[in-house]
Copies of this chain bind each other. A is one copy, B any other.
Amino acid sequence: VEFVRATYRLDAPPHAARERAELLALEQSVELPRETLRDERVVREVLPRVESIEPDAAGGSLARIAYPIAITGSDPAQLLNVLFGNCSLQPDVALADCDLPEGLLDPLGGPHFGLAGLRRAVGEPERGLTCTALKPMGLDAAALGELCFHFARAGIDVIKDDHGLSDQPFCRFVDRVHACLGAVERAVRLGARRALYVPNLNGAPEALAAQLEIAQDAGVRALLAEPMVIGLPLFRELTARARMPVFAHPALAGSLRIRPELWLGRLFRAYGADAVIYPHSGGRFSYDEPTCARIARRLTEPLGGLEPSLPVPAGGMTVERVPELLRFYGPDVMLLLGGSLYRAGSRLEERAREFVDAVARASPARGSAA
Which A positions have Cβ atoms within 8 angstroms of B? 23, 27-33, 35-39, 41-42, 45-47, 70-73, 75-78, 80-82, 84-91, 133, 135-139, 143, 162-164, 166-170, 202-208, 226, 228-234, 236-237, 250-258, 279, 284-287, 315, 338-339, 342-343, 345
Contact = CB atoms under 8 A, between A and B. Distances in A.
Given A70-B169, A81-B252, A345-B36, A31 B135 contact: yes
A345 B73 contact: no
Given A84-B255, A85-B229, A89-B285, A75 B236 contact: no
Contacts of A254: 86-91
A80 B229 contact: yes
Given A135-B32, A136-B42, A138-B42, A90 B285 contact: yes
B237 A33 contact: no
26 contacts: A28-B164, A29-B137, A29-B164, A30-B137, A30-B138, A31-B136, A31-B339, A32-B342, A33-B339, A39-B143, A41-B138, A70-B168, A71-B138, A75-B166, A75-B167, A75-B203, A77-B229, A81-B202, A85-B163, A85-B252, A88-B253, A88-B254, A208-B233, A231-B234, A255-B255, A255-B257
A90 B252 CA distance: 10
A43 B266 CA distance: 39
Contacts of A208: 77, 233
Closest 5 A-B residue pairs measured CB to CB? A231-B231, A89-B254, A46-B138, A85-B251, A30-B136
Contacts of A343: 33, 35-36
A202 B41 contact: no
Nearest to A76: B204
